[in-house]
Chains A and B, each alone.
Chain A
Amino acid sequence: MKAKMAFRAVALFAATALAASGLTAGALAPAQAATKSTVTLLSAGNITSLNSDTSDGNSVYNATVESLTRMGFSYYDDKTKLVMNTRFGTMKIVKNEKDDFRIQYTVRPGQTWSDGTPITAHDLLLSHIITSNQFSIDAGLGDPSSKTQKPSFDSVGYSSTYGNNVVGDPVVSSDGMSITTRFKKQLPDWQLLAPGVFPVHALALMADGRTTLQPVNVGVTAKQTFLTAFKKKNTAFLKRMGAIWTKDYNVSKVDRNTNPLLLVSNGGFIVQSYTAGSSMTLVRNPRYSSGPAMATRNPIRTVVIKVITDNTAAVQALRNGDIDIYYNSLPTNNDRAALSAMPNVTLDTNVGGNYSFIHLRVSNAAQERDTYSGPFAGNSQRAKDLRRAFMLAMPREQIVEVLIKPLNPKASPLDTQFAFQGTPEYNTITRASGVSEFTRGTQAQRTAQALALVQKHFPNASATNAPVKISFVHANVALRNQIGALVAAEAKKAGFDVTSFASANLFGNRDNLSARHDASMHGFQLTSLAQSNATGIFKSDGANNAWGWNNPELDKILLRLQNDVLTPSQITKLRSDADKIIMSEYWGLPLYANPTITAFNKALKNVKTAPIGNNITWNFFEWSY
């Protein structure tokens, strides 16, 4: 019986043997074409949402995905220039009065979303809903600044320049291709306030419970439904949309069960699949026409974004070809050495919109518990002399030479916080600001001057005796600690006894920015090149003024930079005036622009790093193999 079974089994498979060998032989055709058309990017953090404007999804990693799926009015290029994307639309001032400032935004006709629905001015209106506090209140969607209740659209855009200045709601033109927005005053950075684009028809369809892509006419009707709800402030409908906008775009997985309406795109690519914390795949959007045309020779058909939180792992992944583009805004010498030794990789050093500085405390900052009474306190001659001496003794050239040049051979000390090196504005400002006092001569000469200043108030000070006790706080990372050591060593020669506090959680711990410390070292990241940049740091009531600085004359200048519509030369003039005051108050000095490293597969062409905005993906349309 059992022998029979065994025999039967053998016989059965012997009979199918021929068919089997035939099958296996035919199965070895290449999976895809021989020319590579996939670019694999690195995401140093988890992608959690397809909507980076919500309080949940507001991260640079989500914004990177959006930069591939949404094309709006402008983007920053690799020369930090704001490029107007006329393939998408244009904007112009239609009324320019002191209390009535109107801008018209026009969408170029003929563009469609990836589902075929035309792109129109309706798609610009969601931007208003998620940035105007007044609209949210008026439409019954909740007060965004409520302490207890989330608004329906839980966006990070409220209470900003747009929301604080917009008057009423934008008006849609009769042809439905432009909107006009009115502001209560002239706004200098109006170009940066351009509304973002969002597929409102998809949102409206989802609010109606749809879970599949719809024909174009249904999409167009949905746009009208949205416009009516927007104009009439239909609370119930808007609330449903808000719930979807706030929550449904948060994803841990994208697959064929995902509602395709969430994935509607007007960028170069459409999200196809995603597994949380692992990788996302985007495929080319066949209907892409909202930005510069894609490269024609060997363009990119697929973009994969791999989430790699470990930097060493990312470097090795580039070497192995697991990723094609590596980007690091906080590189170390080891990274650079490893990357430059790779045979198949192009290394590009740049500066990001990120710079480091040392600031000196003058008095207690807003909402401060303690009173500052250290050596730099107040504006007495003594305090000013000591601050000036400390600045003179800052070994900025040495810091750049020893610590930054290995990362960025082109680096030099940064002399102003109002402009980037290499721009004409930078030269104008630094020539006039009086920073030259801290760049003139050699460091030894400057340190000698510093010592002389200290000796005016502390006659016993000398290169071997440091009577002025300085408490210096900075983040506890290797680079900061090394800079801290250089600063302390040089300042000692000028009579300062510097104690460094390396804090693991610099901004998390209130005490770090309290009156306990005399000086602090930080980095600031610029997310745009607004005219009002850096005003928040130096204004007496600025959100980032943590050092108790206060100069009414400077406040006046900064207010003009914040509020007035100015010509570029006026801006430069005001900025150099401001910097002149800052230098004469001796509030501190910038150190250097933080270097960034981009390294990418040699076969890949036209990868350029933009210091501001989406550093790598801004010119995806130029990429090719």
Chain B
Amino acid sequence: MFAYVLRRLGMMLVVIFGASFLAYNLQAYSSNPLAALGESQEENKDFLMAQMIRNLQLDVPPPIRYFSWLRGVIAGLWGDFDLGMTRDGLPVLEVLGMAVPVTIRLVITATFLAIILGIAVGMITAIRQYSRFDYVVTFISFLLFSLPIFWVAVLLKEYMAIQFNDFLVAPEIPPTAIGVAAASFGLVVAGLLGGNRARFFSIFFGATAFAVAVLIYVSETSWFLDPTLGVFGVGFLALCSAAIVVQLITGLDSRKGLFAGLVTAILVTILYHPLQALMPEDAGAMSVLAVFAVTVTVGVVVGSLVSNVDRKIYARVGGLTALLSTFPIILDRFMQEFAAYMVSDAVNGRPVPTLGQGNDLLTPEQQSNFWISGLDATMHLILPTIALTLVSFAGYVRFSRGSLLEVLNMDYIRTARAKGLSERTVIVRHGMRNAMLPLTTILVNDFAGVLGGAIITESVFAWQGMGQLFNTALRTYDLNLFMGVFVITATLTVAANFVADLLYGVVDPRIRIRK
């Protein structure tokens, strides 16, 4: 095992060295930084050219220049790591150090959302293979799969930012819009829950009626101008969370599980008012954590009090229910600041921005109200997150659907059914877990890809992350910056492959890493 790891690490170094040498030279030969000066009308054009040749060492052939760059990398062995300067005279390390967190902030939510939603929807379609729902999801995922993200971005900006902000001037939803939105909601819910025709239609009409009621309420109270969930909203969402958690962990037919989930949901709802005290204006991330700590403790305690046997399972039900139903409480706290956020000078009544990482005027540095600066960061994340989720969601849907279908056709699933396990147990315990195995590889690689940045997304949403740096490096022939981004992405990709191989040996007992 040890020798294997060492050998793999050695190979990684060789690969990165070779790749970086190639990349450096390809980039150096394909570009000419002097080009921009070609059109210059400056009277000291010749001097400017000579200066650039001197400062960028353009008179040194790239293969040799590569080694002076490599020296800085190798100096990292004795703690003197140096990736050189960008053409703007900033240390590449400093620039990368700023871009990495930005990229993570931009991509991580979308990646998680896409994975969770994608796998969930994918597996549901596998369970209901060849149902109406399956066909619709398949259609939609192929549609999303083929959408170019810059175009998705343009549409999202037009409808979810510009039109929505215009709509906020007088937020009354016209009746036809209510009808269409409610009916689509009904269709989605009915499709998700499935069942025979009668059940489908009753769920459809129920969900539609519910949506109509909510939308009319939202429209009549100008809810968008001062949104709130209130105790009732929080309670409703808590109950929904309880239902999902219970169904996944114990099944809704387990009375103890149901009891643990429902009591936790109700307790969290009761805690809604008292918890506000934990979230003052100048709160920090710590207070959010404190709220979670309180509710999850309550959930775990409730769960473990429910039964003397299988305590862990019910504690998990309680804890997870509490965790999920706390999100609405936090969301509600952010909403309480929305009206103040709307009238601030930086927002000026148009809360959904089309681009940017955040309003300078509302960063934590300028604005002591944690909830307003948090709200601002969130508003800026909405569109890029939706865009990225939409585009990468489809891949996970298709992959997890195929994976689960394959597992469900296995002999051991038939055996599990034959010995009389409930369908829920067969699917959740024996099906889903095994279907996750092949997904590990793509998940690990996708996370490595995250740091490479989303070049187009960052560009159209004006985020300065790794992708944008790469883009800039290419456009401005910034060789050191290019190599900086390259080193990080190349190392991560190679390392991710390695980790995926190791992880596979851990999660799949059939695979053993030999010496």
* Residues on A facing B (Cβ under 8 Å): 2-3, 5-6, 9-10, 12-17, 19-21, 23-24, 27-34, 36-38, 46, 48-49, 54-57, 144-148, 150, 154, 156-161, 163, 246-247, 250-253, 255-256, 273, 275-281, 302, 304, 306-310, 312-313, 316-317, 319-322, 505-509, 513, 522-527, 532-533, 536, 543-544
Contact = CB atoms under 8 A, between A and B. Distances in A.
B462 A38 contact: no
A312 B353 CA distance: 14
Chain A CB within 10 A, most for which of B90, B271, B278, B352: B90
Interface string B359-373: 111110111010010
Contacts of B472: 46, 277, 309
Contacts of B280: 23
Contact of A54 (B89, B343, B356): B89
Contact of A505 (B32, B46, B89, B150): B32
Contact of B305 (A3, A21, A276, A320): A3
Contacts of A38: 345-346, 361
Given A10-B271, A505-B32, A20 B276 contact: yes
Contacts of A163: 44
6 contacts: A31-B372, A38-B361, A54-B89, A306-B356, A313-B355, A508-B32
B275 interface: yes
Nearest to A524: B41
Nearest to A507: B38
B39 A29 contact: no
B403 interface: no
The B contact surface, by secondary structure, is helix
Chain B CB within 10 A, most for which of A17, A253, A316, A322: A322
B52 A20 contact: no
A32 B462 contact: no
Contact of B41 (A14, A250, A544): A544
A279 B87 contact: no
Contacts of A317: 353-355, 462
Interface in B139-179: 150, 153-154, 157-158, 161-162, 165
A314 to B, nearest CB: 8
Given A32-B345, A313-B153, A320-B352, 14 more contacts: A6-B305, A12-B274, A13-B275, A54-B89, A55-B89, A57-B88, A144-B51, A246-B89, A273-B365, A276-B464, A277-B463, A321-B350, A505-B35, A507-B39
B396 to A, nearest CB: 27
A275 B38 contact: no
Contacts of B278: 13
Contact of A48 (B36, B90, B348): B90
Interface residues of B, number: 96
Contacts of A281: 360-361
B133 interface: no
B80 interface: no
B460 interface: yes
B202 interface: no
Contacts of B359: 279
B161 A320 contact: yes
B460 A313 contact: yes
Given A27-B340, A320-B350, A525-B41, A20 B345 contact: no
A320 B162 contact: yes
Nearest to A14: B274
A320 B157 contact: yes
B50 A147 contact: yes
Contacts of A527: 41-42
Given A273-B365, A304-B361, A278 B31 contact: no
A273 B153 CA distance: 28
B460 A17 contact: no
Contact of B345 (A31, A150, A273, A513): A31
A21 B344 contact: no
Task: For the complex of A and B, list the 8 residue pairs with the smallest distance between their C-beta atoms, beginning with the closest.
Answer: A277-B464, A507-B38, A13-B274, A56-B89, A508-B35, A31-B344, A48-B88, A159-B47
Given A16-B274, A31-B345, A507-B38, A150 B354 contact: no
Contacts of B340: 27-31
Interface stretch (B17-25, B123-131, B293-301): B293-301
A524 to B, nearest CB: 6
A246 B88 CA distance: 11
A310 B464 CA distance: 12
B281 A159 contact: no
Given A159-B46, A252-B90, A507-B35, A278 B274 contact: no
B356 A278 contact: yes
A55 B304 contact: no
B374 to A, nearest CB: 14
Contacts of B46: 159, 543
B336 A24 contact: yes
B468 interface: yes
B306 to A, nearest CB: 11
Nearest to A308: B462
A160 B301 contact: no
A5 B355 CA distance: 47
Given A507-B39, A527-B41, A321 B348 contact: yes
B255 interface: no
Contact of B366 (A17, A150, A273, A522): A273
B312 interface: no
B344 A275 contact: no
A306 B360 CA distance: 10
A17 B350 contact: no
